[in-house]
Amino acid sequence: MRIASFLDRADVTAAVPVGGKDEVIAALVDLLVSNHEELHRSVLLQVLLKREELRSTGIEEGVAFPHGRVPGIEQLHACFGRCRTGVDFDSFDGKPTHFFFVLLIPENAEGSHLKALARLNRLFQDAAFRASLIEAEDAEAIYSAILEQDNRC
């Protein structure tokens, strides 16, 4: 599964606000709903924040994969955001989180989100790739770096 199959350029931002977990998720949800009229802010916030209550999606090395099953959507949606200074996202390693890859999963999806999460995990294990995302000038450069890494792996 290729990242380009579910990540649009318009759904990438280089300007995730510094704040708490709720503020970061709200900013990324706002990005998604501004680009996809079929998505509803309140539903997305409820799904993603409820998932975070179960267990943080902040893994390690500055990466988080907020995700959840969203009623009424037909296909996998995603967005990506970067925060250079980092945010406390309750990550497993206790370090600040810089990269947020949100996945919105259709309720009837059978395993496609697991493939997407596995693919993302593989991409973000590369320290040089993470460094390139921190250094990227803007959202366009970030999107290009993600697609290049996706083609390499």
71 is written with which tokens?
A: 């009623």
Residues annotated catalytic, as ranges: 67
How do strand 97-106 and strand 77-87 relate by DSSP bridges? antiparallel
142 is written with which tokens?
A: 């970030």
Q: Is 17 left (phi over 0), alpha (psi -120 to 50) or beta?
A: beta
**Nearest by Cα to 78 from 88, 89, 68:** 68
